[in-house]
Structure 1
Amino acid sequence: MHLPHEQRYSETHGNTPYRRMGRSGLALPAISLGLWQNFGAQAPVATQRDIIVAAFDRGITQFDLANNYGPPPGSAEENFGRILHKDLRGYRDELVITTKAGYRFLPGPYGEGGSRKYLLSSLDSSLKRMNIDYVDIFYSHRYDPTTPLHETLGALKFAVDSGKALYAGISSYSAARTREALQVASEIGLTLSVHQPSYSLLNRWIEEEDADGDSVASVCAEAGLGIVAFSPLAQGLLTTKYLSGDIPTNSRAAQGGSFSRSYVSQENITALRALNDIAVERGQSLAQMALAWTLRRPEITSVIVGARTVEQLSENLDAVLDLEFTDAQLRQIEATAVDGGLNLWASRSSDL
């Protein structure tokens, strides 16, 4: 059983600011821990445990999961559940545990999408894997054009009404789909509280206006939805490991999967080097500045970071030590932070 640091919420130790999630009553840490990568069966459980308890010792209360996180799918939830009950079982009320469903998890017609059957059966399975009674936030992981939104959001409402989730959210919905979801939610009596999109210095799609003049950021701000941004480091691209233009053998780009080698383009490397120069002038690492920049927007409640080691986690968490930018720095960044073609979720959800 882990004994958490007594000063985990103090300004002198944890250093973690908390932000209100939209118009809800829930406050989240400015930086949260995501278990998308490095928490499946391939990673040592002892390392996973060290990262999770180190995060909690720094006041990180939100742990972000999904049914398909691993690999294999489901293993991140299983591992997190074991660590939770071995090391943090007496602190469940201090934790915000989230999960999602929408992408492929099982074979056959009921293993993906936005149907009531898939979402609710997935939530039940997630609760069993983590051995908990409820999650704090349950997300529709992606917009599903084959399922009516009334059905998808009706499933979220059932999850909240049944006590299996405390808050409901959506992930990677475009501005138009977010507005549509808000309208449907109002019709059925569901409160949507949060949107989880990808967002980073090199992936700024939530700022882009559609034909109606709406952006994800503006729609969320108007509706009072909190925004929890994932991939704020562009899956590790916004770190110093790629500054040379080479692909390290132990990097995510070398491993394939969701990170394409094409992301390490000459245009992106040029942008990274310029951004790194600005970070050095600020006295931060590139990763720290990237996180601070993402948190500059008032609509952003929290950013989700992954970690391979405790040291990497600690570096990222120290980004909150300097969240202020001068006007000159913002102008420099604006001239450099171009879209890097990194929104790999666009064709499956945010472009619909």
Structure 2
Amino acid sequence: MKAVLGLEDGNFFVGEGFGAEGTSTGELVFTTQMTGYMEALTDPSYAGQLLMFTYPLIGNYGVDFHNFQNPLVHARGCITREVCTSPKHSPSLTSFFEEHGLHGISGIDTRMLTIKTRLHGTLKSALIVGDDDGEQAVQMARGMPDISALDLIETVTCKESYRVPGRGKRIAILDLGVKKNIVVSLRRRDADVYIFPYSATKEEIDACRPQALFISNGPGDPKRATAAIKTVRSYLGEIPIYGICMGNQILALALGGETYKLKFGHRGSNQPVRGPEGPISITTQNHGYVVDGESLPEGCVVTYRNVNDNTLEGFADPYQNIFCVQFHPEAHGGPQDLEKSIFDKIYRSIPDA
């Protein structure tokens, strides 16, 4: 089946389509992970993006629904050098894409496109499956709005609050696009988890009598999450607050700090971070925005930095019992170097009721 990927800079690339015929537009991003393609495709933080895999083959172990981080695929399209159409386990990625109306393209020189993205930054892009009209794809890419102008969190947050019961401490999660394994990691410590839409007010959250507030990952520009920032600000100094990925950024903004967009982001399961004691840990990451460490108010302490570019990967405010990280300690997919230490630290630092 014909397919073409068009970029806003005027370039287009013809390949072999898989999945359903149709079109998708999104910001072109790449991930360096070698496995865990379903975890990536179902990560709500990829909403609004066309996801390119640098590893040259995906689909080789089929689709394992147990690994989904959300019931839906949130990446707007999949770009790969080669896709396996006949894996040992079924269903195949190609048949899954076709059944669910998703769009993919293979036969693309992903190495070249990755280098291009690293040099020029993320680009608006369009994927057409079922046709190879490159000029049309380019025009579609140029016509899409910038990702910072999109309210992507609204498309991935839960519509109503719900509970994942446990016998331990009560933790309220603001769902900006929470990954399943964040909840799993908290439940592994027997936390009583209440999950709220990202726009929930303090009054609504207080109904569950939370002992801590947790801000999840999510897609797009964190500055658009004004409701979440307001809610987090209302809890400062009242109960412990924790965050992962966008949660790290929301906490910084609530404290009066600033965020900015990276040239091409950190996405993959081999991102090195250096912690406060010095050892380097390998982490899973998926973000295009980071916190400006210099903008954090007095009292905040930088706890982790990215080894590759020295950007901020975590901070804490011990006086207000705030702790957050930019990477994903819960992984899935990827290494779990810091899953135990970080989630244990979070849970143990919550005072008993």
TM over 0.5: no
Q: Which structure has the highest helix share of the two?
A: 1
- TM-score when scaled to structure 1? 0.27
Indicate the structure with greater strand content. 2
Higher relative contact order, chain-length normalized (CA < 8 Å, sep 6+) = 1
